[in-house]
Amino acid sequence: MPRRINYNDWSKEELIKELGKFNKRTKYGIVWEDKAENVAELCREKLPVIVEEKDKEVKSIKDAPTNILIEGDNYHALSVLNYTHKGKVDLIYIDPPYNTGNERFVYNDKIVDTEDAFRHSKWISFMEKRLKLAKSLLRDSGGIFISIDDNEIAQLRLLCNDIFGENNFVNTLAVQRRVKSLNSQFKETKSLNQAFEYVLVYRKTANFRYINPTKEANENRKAGYWNSFWNSADRPTMRYEIDGIKISKGQWKWERERAFLALSNYKKFMKAVGDESKLKSYWQKNNEKFFRENGRPMEFIKPTKTTIKYWVIPSETTIMDTNLMDYYVNDDTGKRKYGFDTAKHPEFIAKLIDIASTEYALILDFFAGSGTTGHVVLELNSRKNASRRFILCTDDENGICRNSCYPRIKSASKKYKGNLKFFKTVFVDGASTDLNKKRLVDKSTEMLCLKEDCFENEKKGKEYKIFKNKDKYLGIIYDDYGIEPFKKDVKRINKRFVVYVFSLDESSREDEFEDIASLVELKPIPAVILNVYRKIFK
Protein backbone atom coordinates (compact mmCIF):
# COMPACT_ATOMS: atom_id res chain seq x y z
CA MET A 1 0.00 0.00 0.00
CA PRO A 2 1.44 3.42 -0.91
CA ARG A 3 2.04 5.58 2.17
CA ARG A 4 0.07 8.79 2.28
CA ILE A 5 2.32 11.72 3.18
CA ASN A 6 0.96 14.65 5.12
CA TYR A 7 2.98 17.61 3.90
CA ASN A 8 1.24 19.98 6.38
CA ASP A 9 3.63 18.86 9.10
CA TRP A 10 6.78 19.52 7.07
CA SER A 11 9.16 22.44 7.62
CA LYS A 12 10.00 24.83 4.78
CA GLU A 13 13.50 23.27 4.43
CA GLU A 14 12.06 19.76 4.28
CA LEU A 15 9.61 20.82 1.58
CA ILE A 16 12.35 22.46 -0.54
CA LYS A 17 14.46 19.29 -0.25
CA GLU A 18 11.52 17.16 -1.31
CA LEU A 19 10.80 19.41 -4.30
CA GLY A 20 14.44 19.03 -5.34
CA LYS A 21 13.89 15.30 -5.64
CA PHE A 22 11.01 15.89 -8.04
CA ASN A 23 13.16 18.17 -10.16
CA LYS A 24 15.82 15.49 -10.44
CA ARG A 25 13.23 13.12 -11.79
CA THR A 26 12.67 15.38 -14.81
CA LYS A 27 13.62 13.34 -17.82
CA TYR A 28 16.66 14.20 -19.94
CA GLY A 29 15.68 14.65 -23.58
CA ILE A 30 13.82 16.82 -26.05
CA VAL A 31 11.16 19.32 -24.97
CA TRP A 32 9.04 21.22 -27.46
CA GLU A 33 5.75 23.03 -27.73
CA ASP A 34 3.29 20.60 -29.20
CA LYS A 35 1.51 22.25 -32.10
CA ALA A 36 -1.92 20.93 -33.02
CA GLU A 37 -2.09 19.70 -36.59
CA ASN A 38 -5.24 19.84 -38.71
CA VAL A 39 -4.82 16.38 -40.20
CA ALA A 40 -4.60 14.84 -36.72
CA GLU A 41 -7.44 16.95 -35.30
CA LEU A 42 -9.66 15.79 -38.16
CA CYS A 43 -9.41 12.22 -36.84
CA ARG A 44 -11.30 13.18 -33.69
CA GLU A 45 -14.39 13.35 -35.89
CA LYS A 46 -13.60 11.37 -39.01
CA LEU A 47 -11.90 8.04 -39.42
CA PRO A 48 -9.53 7.34 -42.31
CA VAL A 49 -10.01 4.34 -44.59
CA ILE A 50 -8.59 3.56 -48.02
CA VAL A 51 -10.32 3.02 -51.34
CA GLU A 52 -8.77 1.59 -54.44
CA GLU A 53 -8.63 3.27 -57.85
CA LYS A 54 -9.09 0.11 -59.86
CA ASP A 55 -8.08 1.62 -63.18
CA LYS A 56 -4.58 2.26 -61.82
CA GLU A 57 -3.85 -1.37 -61.04
CA VAL A 58 -0.86 -3.03 -62.71
CA LYS A 59 -0.88 -6.80 -62.86
CA SER A 60 2.18 -8.09 -64.63
CA ILE A 61 2.62 -11.42 -62.98
CA LYS A 62 0.19 -13.99 -61.58
CA ASP A 63 0.25 -14.92 -57.88
CA ALA A 64 3.12 -12.53 -57.14
CA PRO A 65 2.83 -10.22 -54.13
CA THR A 66 1.23 -6.83 -54.65
CA ASN A 67 3.02 -3.55 -54.06
CA ILE A 68 1.01 -0.67 -52.71
CA LEU A 69 0.89 3.06 -53.35
CA ILE A 70 -1.31 5.12 -51.03
CA GLU A 71 -2.10 8.73 -51.86
CA GLY A 72 -2.96 10.98 -48.94
CA ASP A 73 -1.46 12.49 -45.83
CA ASN A 74 0.84 9.93 -44.28
CA TYR A 75 -0.66 10.46 -40.83
CA HIS A 76 -3.87 8.94 -42.20
CA ALA A 77 -2.11 6.30 -44.28
CA LEU A 78 -0.02 5.22 -41.28
CA SER A 79 -3.15 5.01 -39.14
CA VAL A 80 -4.72 2.65 -41.69
CA LEU A 81 -1.49 0.64 -41.82
CA ASN A 82 -1.57 0.35 -38.04
CA TYR A 83 -4.59 -1.81 -38.55
CA THR A 84 -3.43 -3.67 -41.63
CA HIS A 85 0.34 -4.03 -41.11
CA LYS A 86 1.17 -3.85 -37.42
CA GLY A 87 4.51 -5.62 -36.82
CA LYS A 88 4.82 -6.67 -40.47
CA VAL A 89 7.30 -4.18 -41.93
CA ASP A 90 11.00 -5.10 -42.14
CA LEU A 91 12.53 -1.83 -43.21
CA ILE A 92 11.35 1.76 -43.28
CA TYR A 93 13.19 4.35 -45.32
CA ILE A 94 11.95 7.94 -45.20
CA ASP A 95 13.11 11.19 -46.67
CA PRO A 96 10.95 13.75 -44.85
CA PRO A 97 10.97 17.50 -45.53
CA TYR A 98 14.23 18.79 -44.03
CA ASN A 99 12.58 21.98 -42.77
CA THR A 100 14.93 24.20 -44.72
CA GLY A 101 12.35 26.94 -44.97
CA ASN A 102 12.15 26.77 -48.72
CA GLU A 103 10.88 23.29 -49.47
CA ARG A 104 7.60 21.54 -49.07
CA PHE A 105 7.23 21.35 -45.33
CA VAL A 106 3.60 22.32 -45.04
CA TYR A 107 2.00 22.52 -41.62
CA ASN A 108 -1.70 23.26 -41.34
CA ASP A 109 -1.78 24.30 -44.98
CA LYS A 110 1.03 26.81 -44.62
CA ILE A 111 4.62 26.46 -45.64
CA VAL A 112 6.81 26.81 -42.56
CA ASP A 113 9.51 29.36 -43.27
CA THR A 114 12.81 30.00 -41.52
CA GLU A 115 11.39 33.02 -39.66
CA ASP A 116 8.63 30.99 -38.03
CA ALA A 117 9.31 31.13 -34.28
CA PHE A 118 7.91 27.65 -33.83
CA ARG A 119 9.50 26.07 -36.85
CA HIS A 120 11.34 23.38 -34.91
CA SER A 121 8.35 22.69 -32.65
CA LYS A 122 6.07 22.31 -35.66
CA TRP A 123 8.47 19.97 -37.39
CA ILE A 124 9.00 17.85 -34.27
CA SER A 125 5.25 17.67 -33.56
CA PHE A 126 4.73 16.58 -37.17
CA MET A 127 7.47 13.94 -37.08
CA GLU A 128 6.65 12.61 -33.63
CA LYS A 129 3.12 11.64 -34.61
CA ARG A 130 4.31 9.81 -37.70
CA LEU A 131 7.31 8.10 -36.18
CA LYS A 132 5.24 6.73 -33.31
CA LEU A 133 2.78 5.24 -35.79
CA ALA A 134 5.65 3.93 -37.89
CA LYS A 135 7.41 2.23 -34.98
CA SER A 136 4.49 -0.08 -34.32
CA LEU A 137 4.55 -1.24 -37.95
CA LEU A 138 8.08 -2.59 -37.61
CA ARG A 139 8.90 -6.20 -36.86
CA ASP A 140 11.19 -6.79 -33.91
CA SER A 141 14.02 -7.37 -36.37
CA GLY A 142 13.13 -4.20 -38.29
CA GLY A 143 14.90 -0.88 -38.60
CA ILE A 144 14.21 2.65 -39.78
CA PHE A 145 16.52 4.78 -41.95
CA ILE A 146 15.78 8.51 -42.02
CA SER A 147 17.44 10.95 -44.40
CA ILE A 148 18.08 14.32 -42.80
CA ASP A 149 20.48 17.27 -42.91
CA ASP A 150 21.82 19.82 -40.44
CA ASN A 151 18.54 21.72 -40.14
CA GLU A 152 16.92 19.07 -37.97
CA ILE A 153 19.44 16.31 -37.26
CA ALA A 154 19.95 17.33 -33.63
CA GLN A 155 16.21 17.48 -32.95
CA LEU A 156 15.54 14.26 -34.84
CA ARG A 157 18.21 12.35 -32.94
CA LEU A 158 16.70 13.33 -29.58
CA LEU A 159 13.19 12.65 -30.82
CA CYS A 160 14.18 9.19 -32.03
CA ASN A 161 15.91 8.50 -28.71
CA ASP A 162 12.58 9.31 -27.13
CA ILE A 163 10.52 7.13 -29.44
CA PHE A 164 12.82 4.17 -30.15
CA GLY A 165 15.06 4.37 -27.06
CA GLU A 166 18.64 5.59 -27.01
CA ASN A 167 19.88 2.00 -26.88
CA ASN A 168 18.22 1.40 -30.24
CA PHE A 169 20.27 4.03 -32.03
CA VAL A 170 22.39 2.16 -34.59
CA ASN A 171 24.32 4.64 -36.74
CA THR A 172 24.44 8.03 -38.33
CA LEU A 173 25.47 7.46 -41.94
CA ALA A 174 27.11 10.31 -43.82
CA VAL A 175 26.25 10.49 -47.54
CA GLN A 176 27.81 12.79 -50.10
CA ARG A 177 25.93 15.64 -51.67
CA ARG A 178 26.62 16.67 -55.20
CA VAL A 179 27.40 20.32 -54.71
CA LYS A 180 26.88 22.39 -57.82
CA SER A 181 29.45 25.11 -57.77
CA LEU A 182 31.55 25.00 -54.66
CA ASN A 183 33.00 28.44 -55.14
CA SER A 184 29.80 30.31 -55.72
CA GLN A 185 28.10 28.58 -52.82
CA PHE A 186 30.96 29.51 -50.57
CA LYS A 187 30.70 33.14 -51.61
CA GLU A 188 26.98 33.17 -50.89
CA THR A 189 26.98 31.49 -47.50
CA LYS A 190 30.40 32.62 -46.24
CA SER A 191 30.75 29.25 -44.65
CA LEU A 192 32.14 25.96 -45.76
CA ASN A 193 29.99 24.15 -48.25
CA GLN A 194 27.97 21.29 -46.95
CA ALA A 195 29.24 18.31 -48.88
CA PHE A 196 27.29 15.60 -47.06
CA GLU A 197 24.06 14.87 -45.26
CA TYR A 198 22.93 12.06 -42.98
CA VAL A 199 20.85 8.98 -42.54
CA LEU A 200 19.84 8.23 -38.97
CA VAL A 201 19.46 4.51 -38.32
CA TYR A 202 17.35 3.19 -35.46
CA ARG A 203 16.23 -0.35 -34.79
CA LYS A 204 13.02 -1.60 -33.19
CA THR A 205 14.87 -4.07 -30.94
CA ALA A 206 18.30 -5.67 -30.62
CA ASN A 207 17.16 -8.29 -33.16
CA PHE A 208 17.95 -5.87 -35.99
CA ARG A 209 21.00 -6.85 -38.07
CA TYR A 210 22.71 -5.38 -41.08
CA ILE A 211 22.16 -8.13 -43.59
CA ASN A 212 24.71 -7.54 -46.26
CA PRO A 213 27.12 -4.74 -45.45
CA THR A 214 29.25 -5.41 -48.50
CA LYS A 215 30.01 -3.31 -51.46
CA GLU A 216 30.10 -4.86 -54.88
CA ALA A 217 32.88 -3.78 -57.12
CA ASN A 218 30.74 -2.69 -60.01
CA GLU A 219 28.24 -0.95 -57.76
CA ASN A 220 30.28 2.12 -57.38
CA ARG A 221 32.29 3.11 -60.39
CA LYS A 222 34.00 5.91 -58.54
CA ALA A 223 35.90 3.30 -56.59
CA GLY A 224 37.74 2.24 -59.75
CA TYR A 225 40.06 4.21 -61.98
CA TRP A 226 41.13 4.44 -65.58
CA ASN A 227 44.48 3.13 -66.62
CA SER A 228 46.04 2.69 -69.99
CA PHE A 229 48.83 1.04 -71.80
CA TRP A 230 50.25 1.98 -75.13
CA ASN A 231 52.77 0.89 -77.68
CA SER A 232 54.76 3.99 -78.47
CA ALA A 233 58.13 3.88 -76.75
CA ASP A 234 60.23 0.76 -76.65
CA ARG A 235 62.58 0.53 -73.72
CA PRO A 236 63.70 -2.79 -72.27
CA THR A 237 62.38 -2.03 -68.79
CA MET A 238 59.00 -1.12 -70.14
CA ARG A 239 58.71 -4.05 -72.42
CA TYR A 240 56.22 -6.73 -72.03
CA GLU A 241 55.76 -9.37 -74.62
CA ILE A 242 52.37 -10.79 -74.54
CA ASP A 243 53.64 -14.24 -75.15
CA GLY A 244 52.08 -17.24 -73.57
CA ILE A 245 48.71 -15.58 -73.57
CA LYS A 246 46.06 -17.89 -74.74
CA ILE A 247 43.91 -16.24 -77.33
CA SER A 248 40.76 -17.73 -78.66
CA LYS A 249 38.10 -15.98 -80.68
CA GLY A 250 35.82 -15.17 -77.80
CA GLN A 251 38.19 -14.72 -74.94
CA TRP A 252 41.47 -13.31 -73.87
CA LYS A 253 42.81 -14.65 -70.63
CA TRP A 254 45.92 -14.12 -68.64
CA GLU A 255 47.30 -17.48 -67.83
CA ARG A 256 48.84 -16.62 -64.51
CA GLU A 257 46.48 -13.91 -63.35
CA ARG A 258 42.74 -13.42 -63.22
CA ALA A 259 42.59 -10.44 -65.56
CA PHE A 260 40.48 -10.97 -68.62
CA LEU A 261 38.91 -9.27 -71.54
CA ALA A 262 35.28 -10.06 -72.13
CA LEU A 263 34.06 -10.96 -75.59
CA SER A 264 32.74 -7.52 -76.53
CA ASN A 265 35.89 -5.80 -75.37
CA TYR A 266 38.06 -8.31 -77.17
CA LYS A 267 36.69 -7.19 -80.50
CA LYS A 268 37.38 -3.54 -79.73
CA PHE A 269 40.79 -4.46 -78.50
CA MET A 270 41.69 -6.35 -81.64
CA LYS A 271 40.43 -3.52 -83.77
CA ALA A 272 42.56 -1.00 -81.93
CA VAL A 273 45.62 -3.14 -81.99
CA GLY A 274 45.21 -3.81 -85.70
CA ASP A 275 45.58 -7.50 -85.81
CA GLU A 276 46.50 -10.46 -83.74
CA SER A 277 50.19 -10.40 -84.63
CA LYS A 278 50.56 -7.00 -82.96
CA LEU A 279 49.77 -8.62 -79.68
CA LYS A 280 53.35 -9.74 -79.74
CA SER A 281 54.24 -6.12 -79.72
CA TYR A 282 55.83 -4.06 -76.94
CA TRP A 283 53.71 -2.24 -74.49
CA GLN A 284 54.90 0.67 -72.48
CA LYS A 285 54.31 -0.73 -69.11
CA ASN A 286 56.47 -2.22 -66.46
CA ASN A 287 55.76 -5.93 -66.49
CA GLU A 288 55.29 -6.42 -62.83
CA LYS A 289 53.13 -3.39 -62.30
CA PHE A 290 51.05 -4.36 -65.24
CA PHE A 291 50.33 -7.73 -63.79
CA ARG A 292 49.54 -6.44 -60.36
CA GLU A 293 47.08 -3.94 -61.66
CA ASN A 294 45.50 -6.48 -63.84
CA GLY A 295 45.10 -9.24 -61.36
CA ARG A 296 41.55 -7.96 -61.30
CA PRO A 297 38.72 -7.86 -63.76
CA MET A 298 39.04 -5.10 -66.33
CA GLU A 299 35.78 -3.64 -67.36
CA PHE A 300 35.93 -1.25 -70.27
CA ILE A 301 38.48 -0.93 -72.95
CA LYS A 302 38.50 2.42 -74.68
CA PRO A 303 40.84 2.25 -77.60
CA THR A 304 42.22 5.43 -79.09
CA LYS A 305 44.87 5.58 -81.77
CA THR A 306 47.80 4.67 -79.63
CA THR A 307 46.46 3.81 -76.24
CA ILE A 308 44.13 1.26 -74.83
CA LYS A 309 42.33 2.44 -71.78
CA TYR A 310 40.90 0.10 -69.24
CA TRP A 311 38.94 0.49 -66.09
CA VAL A 312 40.41 -1.02 -62.97
CA ILE A 313 38.06 -2.07 -60.25
CA PRO A 314 39.88 -2.31 -56.94
CA SER A 315 38.35 -5.54 -55.72
CA GLU A 316 35.24 -7.57 -56.24
CA THR A 317 33.56 -7.05 -52.89
CA THR A 318 34.56 -5.06 -49.88
CA ILE A 319 32.87 -4.61 -46.55
CA MET A 320 31.10 -1.29 -46.15
CA ASP A 321 32.64 -1.10 -42.73
CA THR A 322 32.29 2.55 -41.87
CA ASN A 323 29.36 4.92 -41.65
CA LEU A 324 30.84 7.11 -44.38
CA MET A 325 28.84 6.03 -47.40
CA ASP A 326 30.66 6.23 -50.66
CA TYR A 327 27.48 7.25 -52.51
CA TYR A 328 25.85 10.38 -53.79
CA VAL A 329 22.56 11.17 -52.16
CA ASN A 330 20.89 13.28 -54.83
CA ASP A 331 19.85 12.29 -58.29
CA ASP A 332 20.70 15.04 -60.75
CA THR A 333 18.36 13.56 -63.29
CA GLY A 334 15.40 13.61 -60.87
CA LYS A 335 13.96 16.87 -62.09
CA ARG A 336 14.27 15.95 -65.73
CA LYS A 337 13.01 12.40 -65.37
CA TYR A 338 10.42 12.63 -62.63
CA GLY A 339 9.65 16.34 -62.43
CA PHE A 340 11.04 16.41 -58.93
CA ASP A 341 14.25 18.05 -57.86
CA THR A 342 14.75 16.39 -54.48
CA ALA A 343 14.63 12.82 -55.78
CA LYS A 344 17.14 10.57 -54.08
CA HIS A 345 19.80 8.73 -56.05
CA PRO A 346 18.68 5.16 -56.86
CA GLU A 347 22.13 3.71 -56.13
CA PHE A 348 22.10 5.20 -52.65
CA ILE A 349 18.62 3.84 -51.89
CA ALA A 350 19.59 0.47 -53.36
CA LYS A 351 22.55 0.33 -51.01
CA LEU A 352 20.39 1.04 -47.95
CA ILE A 353 17.90 -1.63 -48.96
CA ASP A 354 20.69 -4.09 -49.66
CA ILE A 355 22.51 -3.65 -46.36
CA ALA A 356 19.43 -3.61 -44.21
CA SER A 357 16.89 -6.08 -45.54
CA THR A 358 16.57 -9.67 -46.69
CA GLU A 359 15.40 -10.42 -50.20
CA TYR A 360 11.87 -11.13 -48.91
CA ALA A 361 11.54 -7.92 -46.95
CA LEU A 362 8.52 -5.63 -46.84
CA ILE A 363 9.75 -2.06 -47.24
CA LEU A 364 7.82 1.07 -46.36
CA ASP A 365 8.47 4.65 -47.45
CA PHE A 366 5.86 7.09 -46.21
CA PHE A 367 7.45 10.23 -47.67
CA ALA A 368 7.73 8.57 -51.05
CA GLY A 369 7.79 11.72 -53.24
CA SER A 370 8.65 10.62 -56.78
CA GLY A 371 8.81 6.97 -55.67
CA THR A 372 12.54 6.21 -55.83
CA THR A 373 12.24 3.56 -53.10
CA GLY A 374 9.58 1.61 -55.01
CA HIS A 375 11.46 1.92 -58.29
CA VAL A 376 14.64 0.61 -56.67
CA VAL A 377 12.86 -2.34 -55.02
CA LEU A 378 11.45 -3.39 -58.40
CA GLU A 379 14.78 -2.99 -60.13
CA LEU A 380 16.67 -4.89 -57.39
CA ASN A 381 14.12 -7.71 -57.50
CA SER A 382 14.68 -8.12 -61.19
CA ARG A 383 18.47 -7.75 -61.08
CA LYS A 384 19.09 -9.93 -58.03
CA ASN A 385 16.18 -12.32 -58.33
CA ALA A 386 14.77 -11.10 -55.01
CA SER A 387 11.14 -10.74 -53.99
CA ARG A 388 10.98 -7.68 -51.78
CA ARG A 389 7.68 -5.81 -51.59
CA PHE A 390 6.94 -2.18 -50.88
CA ILE A 391 4.32 0.18 -49.56
CA LEU A 392 4.67 3.81 -50.60
CA CYS A 393 2.68 6.71 -49.19
CA THR A 394 2.80 10.24 -50.44
CA ASP A 395 0.57 13.28 -50.60
CA ASP A 396 -0.22 14.79 -54.00
CA GLU A 397 1.45 18.14 -53.35
CA ASN A 398 1.96 19.73 -56.79
CA GLY A 399 0.85 16.49 -58.42
CA ILE A 400 3.82 14.54 -57.04
CA CYS A 401 1.75 11.39 -56.54
CA ARG A 402 -0.34 11.31 -59.71
CA ASN A 403 2.03 12.96 -62.15
CA SER A 404 5.38 11.64 -60.95
CA CYS A 405 5.25 8.77 -58.49
CA TYR A 406 2.43 6.75 -60.00
CA PRO A 407 3.60 6.92 -63.65
CA ARG A 408 7.16 6.08 -62.57
CA ILE A 409 6.11 3.07 -60.47
CA LYS A 410 3.63 1.95 -63.10
CA SER A 411 6.24 1.79 -65.82
CA ALA A 412 8.84 0.20 -63.51
CA SER A 413 6.23 -2.43 -62.50
CA LYS A 414 5.70 -3.26 -66.15
CA LYS A 415 9.40 -3.28 -66.96
CA TYR A 416 10.53 -5.32 -63.97
CA LYS A 417 7.38 -7.42 -63.54
CA GLY A 418 5.70 -6.28 -60.34
CA ASN A 419 2.07 -5.96 -59.31
CA LEU A 420 0.75 -2.63 -58.12
CA LYS A 421 -2.41 -1.31 -56.49
CA PHE A 422 -3.23 2.35 -56.02
CA PHE A 423 -5.26 3.49 -53.01
CA LYS A 424 -6.25 6.86 -51.65
CA THR A 425 -7.36 7.81 -48.17
CA VAL A 426 -10.98 8.85 -47.58
CA PHE A 427 -12.98 9.42 -44.40
CA VAL A 428 -16.06 8.13 -42.67
CA ASP A 429 -17.95 9.75 -39.83
CA GLY A 430 -16.38 8.72 -36.53
CA ALA A 431 -19.17 9.43 -34.00
CA SER A 432 -20.08 6.18 -32.31
CA THR A 433 -23.56 5.54 -33.72
CA ASP A 434 -24.92 2.32 -35.22
CA LEU A 435 -25.30 4.05 -38.59
CA ASN A 436 -21.65 5.16 -38.60
CA LYS A 437 -20.49 1.68 -37.65
CA LYS A 438 -22.39 0.35 -40.63
CA ARG A 439 -20.84 3.01 -42.88
CA LEU A 440 -17.34 2.13 -41.66
CA VAL A 441 -17.96 -1.54 -42.41
CA ASP A 442 -19.22 -0.71 -45.90
CA LYS A 443 -16.01 1.23 -46.57
CA SER A 444 -13.63 -1.26 -44.96
CA THR A 445 -13.44 -3.79 -47.81
CA GLU A 446 -10.10 -2.65 -49.24
CA MET A 447 -8.54 -2.32 -45.79
CA LEU A 448 -9.47 -5.92 -45.00
CA CYS A 449 -8.18 -7.15 -48.37
CA LEU A 450 -4.94 -5.30 -47.74
CA LYS A 451 -4.61 -6.73 -44.24
CA GLU A 452 -5.15 -10.27 -45.47
CA ASP A 453 -3.23 -9.69 -48.73
CA CYS A 454 -6.20 -11.24 -50.48
CA PHE A 455 -7.46 -9.38 -53.52
CA GLU A 456 -8.81 -11.78 -56.09
CA ASN A 457 -12.57 -11.39 -56.14
CA GLU A 458 -14.41 -14.71 -55.97
CA LYS A 459 -17.90 -13.45 -55.20
CA LYS A 460 -19.24 -9.92 -55.24
CA GLY A 461 -22.49 -9.10 -53.46
CA LYS A 462 -24.11 -6.39 -51.41
CA GLU A 463 -24.47 -8.54 -48.32
CA TYR A 464 -21.18 -10.38 -48.46
CA LYS A 465 -18.03 -10.72 -50.58
CA ILE A 466 -15.46 -13.46 -51.00
CA PHE A 467 -11.82 -12.92 -52.00
CA LYS A 468 -8.96 -15.35 -52.34
CA ASN A 469 -5.22 -15.60 -52.80
CA LYS A 470 -3.13 -18.66 -53.47
CA ASP A 471 -3.18 -19.65 -49.78
CA LYS A 472 -6.54 -18.69 -48.34
CA TYR A 473 -10.05 -17.29 -48.64
CA LEU A 474 -11.39 -14.08 -47.15
CA GLY A 475 -15.07 -13.49 -46.41
CA ILE A 476 -16.60 -10.13 -45.50
CA ILE A 477 -20.20 -10.11 -44.29
CA TYR A 478 -21.77 -6.65 -44.28
CA ASP A 479 -25.27 -7.57 -43.33
CA ASP A 480 -27.13 -10.21 -41.29
CA TYR A 481 -28.90 -11.34 -44.46
CA GLY A 482 -25.54 -12.38 -45.84
CA ILE A 483 -24.78 -14.99 -43.17
CA GLU A 484 -26.80 -17.96 -44.50
CA PRO A 485 -25.87 -17.68 -48.23
CA PHE A 486 -22.26 -17.05 -47.24
CA LYS A 487 -22.22 -20.24 -45.17
CA LYS A 488 -23.51 -22.19 -48.18
CA ASP A 489 -20.58 -20.89 -50.23
CA VAL A 490 -18.10 -21.85 -47.53
CA LYS A 491 -19.50 -25.40 -47.47
CA ARG A 492 -19.30 -25.58 -51.27
CA ILE A 493 -15.71 -24.25 -51.45
CA ASN A 494 -14.73 -26.26 -48.37
CA LYS A 495 -11.48 -24.38 -47.66
CA ARG A 496 -10.26 -22.32 -44.68
CA PHE A 497 -11.70 -18.80 -44.48
CA VAL A 498 -10.87 -15.69 -42.48
CA VAL A 499 -14.28 -14.11 -41.95
CA TYR A 500 -15.02 -10.52 -40.96
CA VAL A 501 -18.58 -10.37 -39.79
CA PHE A 502 -20.58 -7.22 -39.11
CA SER A 503 -21.39 -6.90 -35.45
CA LEU A 504 -22.56 -3.85 -33.52
CA ASP A 505 -20.66 -5.02 -30.47
CA GLU A 506 -17.39 -6.88 -30.01
CA SER A 507 -18.86 -10.36 -30.46
CA SER A 508 -17.80 -12.53 -33.43
CA ARG A 509 -21.17 -14.31 -33.46
CA GLU A 510 -19.64 -17.79 -33.10
CA ASP A 511 -22.96 -19.47 -32.36
CA GLU A 512 -24.25 -18.56 -35.82
CA PHE A 513 -21.29 -20.29 -37.50
CA GLU A 514 -21.20 -23.40 -35.28
CA ASP A 515 -21.88 -25.79 -38.17
CA ILE A 516 -18.82 -24.55 -40.15
CA ALA A 517 -16.64 -23.72 -37.13
CA SER A 518 -13.72 -25.80 -38.36
CA LEU A 519 -13.52 -23.80 -41.60
CA VAL A 520 -13.81 -20.25 -40.32
CA GLU A 521 -11.80 -17.85 -38.20
CA LEU A 522 -14.26 -15.13 -37.17
CA LYS A 523 -13.52 -11.47 -36.49
CA PRO A 524 -16.06 -8.77 -35.64
CA ILE A 525 -16.11 -5.60 -37.75
CA PRO A 526 -15.91 -2.70 -37.20
CA ALA A 527 -14.69 -3.53 -33.66
CA VAL A 528 -11.30 -4.83 -34.84
CA ILE A 529 -10.67 -1.55 -36.68
CA LEU A 530 -12.15 0.74 -34.03
CA ASN A 531 -10.02 -0.81 -31.29
CA VAL A 532 -6.87 0.21 -33.17
CA TYR A 533 -8.17 3.69 -34.00
CA ARG A 534 -9.28 4.33 -30.42
CA LYS A 535 -5.71 3.92 -29.23
CA ILE A 536 -4.29 6.19 -31.93
CA PHE A 537 -6.85 8.98 -31.90
CA LYS A 538 -7.73 8.76 -28.19
Binding site for ligand SAM (CB under 6 A): 73-74, 95, 97, 104, 340, 342-344, 367, 369-370, 372, 393-395, 397, 400
CA–CA dist 103, 394 (Å, integer): 15
Complex with ligand SAM: residue 409 or 530, whichever CB lies closer: 409
Nearest residue to 389 (alpha-carbon basis) of 354, 420, 435, 356: 420
The CB-of-395 to ligand SAM minimum distance in angstroms stands at 4
Whether the Cβ atoms of residue 424 and residue 53 lie closer than 8 Å to each other = yes
Q: What is the CA radius of gyration of the chain?
A: 30
Complex with ligand SAM: residue 77 or 441, whichever CB lies closer: 77
Helix, strand or coil, per DSSP, at residue 49: strand
Complex with ligand SAM: residue 159 or 270, whichever CB lies closer: 159
The CB-of-98 to ligand SAM minimum distance in angstroms stands at 7
Complex with ligand SAM: residue 368 or 476, whichever CB lies closer: 368
Q: Which residue is nearest to ligand SAM (CB)?
A: 369
The CB-of-198 to ligand SAM minimum distance in angstroms stands at 14
Q: What is the dihedral of CA 162, 165, 166, 171, to 10 degrees?
A: -100
The CB-of-404 to ligand SAM minimum distance in angstroms stands at 8
Whether the Cβ atoms of residue 404 and residue 338 lie closer than 8 Å to each other = yes
The CB-of-328 to ligand SAM minimum distance in angstroms stands at 13
Chain centroid to Cα 56, Å, comes to 21
Residue type, 168: N
The CB-of-145 to ligand SAM minimum distance in angstroms stands at 11
Chain centroid to Cα 151, Å, comes to 22
CA–CA dist 520, 514 (Å, integer): 9
DSSP codes of every residue in 99-124: --SSSS-EETTEE--TT-TTHHHHHH
Complex with ligand SAM: residue 203 or 375, whichever CB lies closer: 375
Whether the Cβ atoms of residue 519 and residue 494 lie closer than 8 Å to each other = yes
CA–CA dist 489, 382 (Å, integer): 39
The CB-of-179 to ligand SAM minimum distance in angstroms stands at 18
Complex with ligand SAM: residue 220 or 425, whichever CB lies closer: 425
Complex with ligand SAM: residue 145 or 486, whichever CB lies closer: 145
